[in-house]
Amino acid sequence: MGNSSVGQSTVLRLHVVQADYGDSLILEYGQAAAPRFMLIDGGPPGVYSAHLKPALKSLAQRGAALEAVMLTHVDEDHVAGLVDLAYDLVEAKEQNSAPLISVRALWYNTFRQALGLPDFAYSQFQDFLAAPAPDGGVNPVAFSIAQGELLLEAARALGMPVNPGFAAGVVQLQSAPQVMQVDGARLWVLGPRPQNLERLKKDWLTWYEKRKKKPSFGSGAQRTARAIDRAVANRSSIILLAEGGGRRILLTGDAHGDDILAALKQAGLTDRGGRLHVDVLKVQHHGSLRNASPEFFQQLTADVYVISANKHGHDGNPDLETLNWILDAPRPNGRMRMVATNLTPNLKIIKRRIKKEKIPCELVVLAAGEHSIRL
């Protein structure tokens, strides 16, 4: 168990949704008798109808609502399912029928906000980004950004508040980290760092200024745009630490390990050595080694490591190096668990290592056909 001082009358659980190659999580928190729920990301296309919608329907049948829907950052494997949900809610409103589930707010740092452009300039930027290359290809980054805009439009159609209670309407790490007290539970907003949002704006505008006079852009420009999206946009992920029921759950999106550790230290949550132990850690960026390091898992340990593992394996996530770093991390409570949405080739290798070396680690994989697993 974590070292939270919040009373035992509260509950804190994480529902890990089968998200194919993306992320989708449901946080359950607050009073045990009447818990609250927050949806974090919605996975890529297809996940909503196959898994997220049934999971949300099950909650709604219990009389639950979503206090918020949170998009950690604009990326296709996080946003597409949220757009599908939003469209379902808009359609229900237009038909005067009951929604699948009530949603009270949207947490989402829009791409439009990040660039700080007036509407006319942003529209020009978006049109340019979506222009096909000479070979007919379309930049996949443009698809992700367009999905984010559709989500925002749907929220407005539903009259849903966007980032209520956050300074300047932006969810980010404040100099004094923002902590929300909710029915005995606490939610710490630990990211993104303001400098990361500024870097996102600078990199994209620099890229645009170099290319906006061209009628279209080729594969080289597309690769540059994709690199900005993967590296800088991931660093703009919303990071959330939840405390309740004597537990701590850290949700990281696709953030970088350095940013996560810096935010925890700034919030005064680490010990003198910069270390913290949590009950559940959602491993950032699907276990990609680009976003972590051996030092990260030495400093931030957990009883349960949650990995949104790529069902198709085309990007290698989770990377074998990351999985080995986790296995080699300290285990303050003697044992650990790895919980993955899919059994990938690298996880099969780790499974063999656990057995061969008799490592006190249980590997749990979401069962085929199951929509989610509750931790």
| Separation between Cα atoms, residue 368 and residue 77, nearest integer Å | 20
| DSSP classification of residue 11 | E
Please tell me the predicted confidence (pLDDT) of residue 114: 67
Please tell me the predicted confidence (pLDDT) of residue 242: 97
Please tell me the predicted confidence (pLDDT) of residue 117: 67
> Looking at 7-16, 107-116, 169-178, 250-259, which range is the least confident one?
107-116
What CATH number should be reported for the domain whose range is 11-374?
A: 3.60.15
Average pLDDT score over residue span 191-212: 77
* Spans of all domains in the chain: 11-374
Three-state secondary-structure class, residue 346 = helix
Q: If you search the block for the tokens 């849903």, which residue do you land on?
A: 160
- Please provide the average confidence, as pLDDT, over all residues in the chain: 87
Please tell me the predicted confidence (pLDDT) of residue 197: 82
Q: Does the structure show a pLDDT above 50 at 252?
A: yes
| Separation between Cα atoms, residue 87 and residue 263, nearest integer Å | 34
Element (H, E) at 145: helix 140-157
Question: Which tens digit of pLDDT belongs to each residue from 37-84?
Answer: 999 999 999 999 999 999 999 999 999 999 999 999 988 899 999 999
Average pLDDT score over residue span 218-242: 63
Question: Which tens digit of pLDDT belongs to each residue from 130-142?
Answer: 666 656 655 666 6
**Position with higher pLDDT, 314 vs 5:** 314
In terms of C-beta density within 10 A (0-12 exposed, 13-18 middle, 19 or more buried), how is residue 127 classed?
Answer: exposed
Question: Which tens digit of pLDDT belongs to each residue from 92-123?
Answer: 999 999 999 999 999 998 877 766 766 666 77
**Position with higher pLDDT, 216 vs 302:** 302
| Separation between Cα atoms, residue 279 and residue 302, nearest integer Å | 5
**Position with higher pLDDT, 199 vs 314:** 199
